[in-house]
Structure 1
Amino acid sequence: MWISRSILARSLLHHRHYSQSAAAAVAVAHSFEEAPVTYLEDLPRPDPKYAETILAIPRARSGKNISAKERKQGRVPAILFEQEDGQHGGNKRLISVRTNQIRKLVNHLGRSFFLSRLFDLEVAPEFGGDEVIEKIRVLPRLVHLHSGTDAPLNVTFIRAPSNALLKVDVPLVYRGEDVCPGLRKGSSLNTIRRTVKYLCPADIIPPYIDVDLSELDIGQKLTMGDLKVHPALKLLKSKDEPVCKIMGARVSDQQRRK
């Protein structure tokens, strides 16, 4: 889902009472209309290695049979949401993208990382031609994969202009296991969350968030509020929700018999 900052602020302020997360969305909408935001030096940013333009062609019709024909021709049926309130369906464009390109990106990045990265989407009348109808920056919203082969079956994209705020499930990358005090004592890591949802300005969507385990001892945990992210990102869950915990040390069978 993406929400224009000005539209978001106006719609939420029409309500006399709103949730804390809605109030935070209004605040970020106002603050980032005033000044552009950029990635910070000490936080992850997208790897330019995967800065690829996804190629697409228009698709006139939808339906099970049409989708099956597209896949047989090496294409993935896709949808591009265009309007500001695209999460409710609304205005959408039917397109098709190349199966091999989507499969490569998902395989190289990983599914969760593919869904947290912006891409340029180039729409042309046909694949291989020189004419370009439109070039759009998009965020992949959903990708469905075949359960047996992991082949992409369909993809949903949403426009991501600079003035958009987008809800993104950002992947977590756990680091520091080798020096974690609790793990060195023989305990185990309970990974509770693999992603965390944030409201992100489109220009600074993090490709992932580092989770530092290097100082955790047995029984200690990290919560969503402990994660180090850009101050422009707004957490859409409680900051007290845990993301991981160092469990108690393992007990051997011999120790149990004692």
Structure 2
Amino acid sequence: MVSHYQVIAQSISVPRFSLSLVSLHHSHSLISNRPTPPHPPAPTPAQMLIRRSLLNQTHLHHHLRRISTAALLEEPTPTFDPTQQLTYLDNLPRPDPKYDEIIHAIPRSISGKNISSKERKAGRVPSIVFEQEDGQYGGNKRLISVQTNQIKKLVNHMGQSFFLSRLFNLEVRPEFQSDELIEKVRVLPRKLHLHAGTDAVLNITFIRAPSSALLKIDVPLVFRGDDISPGLKKGSYLNIIKRTVKFLCPPDVIPPYIDVDLSELDVGQKIVMGDLKVHPALKLLKPTDEPVCKIAGARVSEQRKSK
């Protein structure tokens, strides 16, 4: 049995639904009867060509801006012509002729711990000569032995870092006193292995250094002018951060060392790698803003004494 309230609800809901359908139909008819806006005319071939030309010019402009920005940020790198004869500059250090010594060597046929031990007992240092930087991959490799006393004398007189940044002439003969010459070549000591307890020379790696090569070398630094440095005179101290700096060097102008001038350095000031004065053919292999040394404030112990 349908109640009185249900009848009233049904009678009310039907007209509402009918009205909503009518209003929806009316609005749809209004929208469909609106005039459709006219489509823009298709561009002519000439207009399309102009648009394409403007777009290409815009892309080219942005590309050139990127190139010019990169060119400004990129630092110029030194150029090296292997056919050009390089010489040391007058205002830069050059090798001391006192150490122009020929390193004498004899060939070895085999390698190994037992052979190396026998060589050392006989007063010889087992060594090897490679072909430039890729020698570890087998380029023109020769096993040799050099005289222990000669290498020990050079290392003691020059210092290890200076010995490893110096070119030598190497002569390989069947015996040390033989007149027969197997090979004569200019070499750079690449690695020097010393005994941890006695500093005895255990082995050496040499690398051939023709004028056309480019060699990576840790050039030692020599600090000068500390006696007149304004910062050091005020009681500050020198904080040495780097004692060698790696450069890519043509063999003909390898610096024996690099002078670091402290004469004008005040408290808080520093010298970075880009400040080092070297031959223009050398290429720095480290960031130019990497610090080499700095004049720091007084030490804590000195500050306590002053109080």
If asked which structure has higher relative contact order (CA below 8 Å, sep 6+), I would say 1
Alignment of 1:57-72 (within 5 A): 57-72=106-121
What fraction of aligned residue pairs are identical, expressed as a percent? Answer: 72
Picking from 163, 169, 173, the partner of 1:114 is 163
| Equivalent residue, structure 1, for 2:6 | none
Rounded Cα–Cα distance in structure 2 between residues aligned with 1:153 and 1:216: 41
- Which structure is larger by alpha-carbon Rg, 1 or 2? 2
| Equivalent residue, structure 1, for 2:304 | 253
Picking from 96, 100, 107, the partner of 1:51 is 100
Contact in 1 for aligned 2:132/2:215 (Cα 8 Å): no
Alignment of 1:50-129 (within 5 A): 50-82=99-131, 85-129=134-178
Contact in 2 for aligned 1:82/1:93 (Cα 8 Å): no
- Greater helix proportion: 2
Shift of 1:35: 2.1
Contact in 2 for aligned 1:58/1:125 (Cα 8 Å): yes
Q: Which runs of 4+ in 1 moved over 4 A?
A: none
Rounded Cα–Cα distance in structure 2 between residues aligned with 1:132 and 1:255: 67
Residues 1:230 and 2:266 are matched in the alignment: no
Shift of 1:150: 1.5
Contact in 1 for aligned 2:194/2:203 (Cα 8 Å): yes
Alignment of 1:89-238 (within 5 A): 89-238=138-287
Rounded Cα–Cα distance in structure 2 between residues aligned with 1:94 and 1:49: 28
Contact in 2 for aligned 1:168/1:199 (Cα 8 Å): yes
Rounded Cα–Cα distance in structure 1 between residues aligned with 2:214 and 2:120: 32
Q: Please state whether the residue corresponding to 2:150 is helix, strand or coil.
A: helix
- Greater strand proportion: 1
Contact in 1 for aligned 2:83/2:212 (Cα 8 Å): no
Q: Please state whether the residue corresponding to 1:33 is helix, strand or coil.
A: coil
Gaps of 5+ in 1: 1-19
Residues 1:39 and 2:88 are matched in the alignment: yes
Contact in 1 for aligned 2:132/2:213 (Cα 8 Å): no
Rounded Cα–Cα distance in structure 1 between residues aligned with 2:258 and 2:164: 14
Structure-2 change in CA distance of 1:89 and 1:242 (3 Å) = farther
Residues 1:243 and 2:292 are matched in the alignment: yes
Shift of 1:134: 1.1
Shift of 1:90: 4.2
Rounded Cα–Cα distance in structure 2 between residues aligned with 1:96 and 1:166: 23
TM-score by length of 1: 0.86
Q: Indicate the RMSD between aligned Cα atoms, in angstroms.
A: 1.7
Structure-2 change in CA distance of 1:83 and 1:48 (3 Å) = closer
Query: How many aligned residue pairs are there?
Result: 232
Contact in 1 for aligned 2:133/2:215 (Cα 8 Å): no
